[in-house]
Structure formats: C-alpha cells, structure tokens
Amino acid sequence: MFLKLSPFDSDGALLAFLGMRILSGIQPSGTLHLGNYFGMMRPAIELQEQGEAYYFIANYHSMTSLHDPEMRRKNTLDVALDFLACGLDPKKSIFFRQSDVPEVCELSWLLTTLTPMGLLERCHSFKDKVAHGLSPSHGLFAYPVLMAADILLYDSNIVPVGRDQKQHVEVTRDIATKFNQTYGETFVIPVERIHETMAVVPGTDGQKMSKSYGNVINIFGDEKATKKTIMSLVMDSRSPAEPKPDADKNIAIQLLKLVAPPEVAADFENRLRAGGLGYGDLKKALFENHWSYFANARIQRAELTQNLDYVESTLQAGANRAKIVARSVLKRARIACGLE
C-alpha cells in the first residue's frame, strides 16, 4: 500500500514519527500583540508537541527597522519573556537568539548569489514597509533571503506563520529549489503552516493588527491601558437596539472568538445580531475575556522577570543546540557550491 506522507498531517504522533522539523522566528521590533500571539506564537507552541521545534528571536531582522541598540536588547529580552510565559517549553523546543548562530549570515550570502532581483521586487512586505515610511535599505530589500537562510539552515519542514509571511516561505522554496538545481540536492524544501481561523487578526481599526499600524492590543499591556485600547475599538454609529445582520464582521466579535470560550462568543454574536446589545458592553466583555485568557501567562511572566539568569541560560543552551545543526547544514552547502 502506498502511504502518502504529508507534513500537513494533523496527527501529531505521525509528524513526530516522521521527524518533522518545525521552525519559526519573531522580530524583537516592539511589544507583542494578539496578532503575533494567535497568528504565530500559539500555533508554534502547539506544534512543539508534534516534532522537533526551533524558535528564535530574529534580532538580525529587526535591524532593518530599528536602529537603537538598547531598544533591541530590551525588546529581545521581552520577546524571550513573552514567549516563555505563553508556554514555549525549552525542554521541548530549541529557543535561541538569531545572532547567537551567525552561520546564518554566511548561508544568506550563498543564497543571495542565486536570488533573482525580480523575486525580491515582487515581495509585498518590502513595498508595504516602504509605503509605511521605512527606509528602503539593501537589508530591507534582501530581508527574505536572510529569512530563507533561517529556514534552510535547520533543514526545516514546517514554518508556522501568519498569512503575511506566506510569500516569504514561497520565496524560500524558490531559492532552495534553484540552489538544489544548480549545485545538487542540498536543502530540504519547507512548507508554511497557516492557521486559517487565525491567519489575520484584526487591529483596533479593523486593518491587520500590526506594530507598524499603531492598532495593536498587547498581550501583556498594563490593565488600565489595555482596557482603554479595547474601549477605543472603532465601531459604527448604529444604535444598540438596531439588529446587526453583519455581527460576524464586527472586530470585537472577531477578537472575542479568539479569547473567550466558544459558547460565550457565540452568545454575544447572537445578541449583537438580534439587536439590543450595546457596543460598550461588548467591548467590556472583550476586555474581561482578554484579561482572564492571559491571567496564567501574566503570572508566569512576572516569575520569569525575577529569574533573568534562567532566561539568559535558556537562550544560550538553545543556541548551542541550534549551532550543531546549523554548522552541519552550512558545511553541506559550502561543499555543494565548491567553497570546500
């Protein structure tokens, strides 16, 4: 019998049996928000049960948008605390700082030499970032090549990300295929894993939630500020009594579906649809559910903050483990292209 093996298989045991390697990164470019959590962190944390997971803090990447060294150090520590507090388990995953494995920069160069300009010119994220005022540096333009190096350096099979990163994984596949065709089979071809229900988490203005759009709800914001942000969600001017047949499009309902038990979210959606539920009450429910959703994580985070040596040694131990794979894959690539 022919068994079709797919990395998309939802059976965790099978993924583990197949030795699937899972990898993702997150930039330390600001405070983490619900879009980061539901789009990338939670799926990544769930996948750590299902294969060999590599998760890293993409501090080299953050250099394309942030030029303040103290902020980078602070944000890097914050991402480490946030991720560990939310359930990343360093006994199950390899968790490290990107720059502690600088081999990725060398691989990035090898890949650059086979990356067509046109491939990078088509990347939405570059155009989008420039449109939002970032300086179009060579680094920002070449960012997807560094991301390809991140993924290929660890022979990754599965890359859990939000939908905005799908194109970058496609670029990675194109570059890896070109390298394999040019120099012989060297790299594993990865696939993205996008949770369709959480692919694009809306921000307070209804656009994609993003640090660069100033529309975020932070995971670990302070209580008063978080409440204020949620109460300021943009709604229309229909009266509370009016029925709202488009209740499922409401931002607060969409966010409530993420942080509240399903029956609670369904009840609010039905009440909004029928008419009689005011937006103020809906937002209040969203705040309360958001606050209790992250209650345990907040306690974990406060404890980790008291134990920064543990956090630092976790990252260093992760980098030491990551380096073993990185060095062996880089050597394979160097031999393939005639550098050794």
Active site residues: 129, 208, 211
Paired strand residues for 107: none
Min CB(116)–ligand TRP separation in Å: 20
Considering CB distances under 5 to 8 angstroms, the limit depending on partner class, which of ligand TRP, ligand ADP, none binds residue 221? none
Min CB(152)–ligand ADP separation in Å: 18
**Distance separating alpha carbons of residues 191 and 201, to the nearest angstrom:** 21
The interface with ligand TRP within residues 142-161 (CB under 6 A) comprises 147, 150-151, 159, 161
Q: Using CB under 6 A, which of 21, 23, 39, 179 touches ligand ADP?
A: 39
Distances in Å between the Cα of 175 and the Cα atoms of 37, 244, 334 are: 29, 48, 16
String marking each residue 156-175 x if it binds ligand ADP according to CB under 6 A: -----xx-xx----------
String marking each residue 275-314 x if it binds ligand TRP according to CB under 6 A: ----------------------------------------
**Rg of the chain, C-alpha, whole Å:** 21
Considering CB distances under 5 to 8 angstroms, the limit depending on partner class, which of ligand ADP, ligand TRP, none binds residue 159? ligand TRP
Smaller CB separation from ligand ADP, 217 or 330: 217
Say if CB 107 and CB 152 are below 8 A apart. yes
Say if CB 7 and CB 159 are below 8 A apart. no
**Distance separating alpha carbons of residues 219 and 212, to the nearest angstrom:** 16
306: closest CA among 154, 85, 36? 85
Task: Please tell me the total number of residues recorded for the chain in this structure.
Answer: 340
Tell whether residue 230 is a contact of ligand ADP (CB under 6 A). no
Tell whether residue 258 is a contact of ligand ADP (CB under 6 A). no
Tell whether residue 40 is a contact of ligand ADP (CB under 6 A). yes
Tell whether residue 26 is a contact of ligand ADP (CB under 6 A). yes
The two counts, helices (H) then strands (E), for the chain are 16, 5
18: closest CA among 37, 4, 35, 28? 4
Considering CB distances under 5 to 8 angstroms, the limit depending on partner class, which of ligand TRP, ligand ADP, none binds residue 147? ligand TRP
**Distance separating alpha carbons of residues 109 and 123, to the nearest angstrom:** 19
Min CB(257)–ligand TRP separation in Å: 23
Smaller CB separation from ligand ADP, 43 or 114: 43
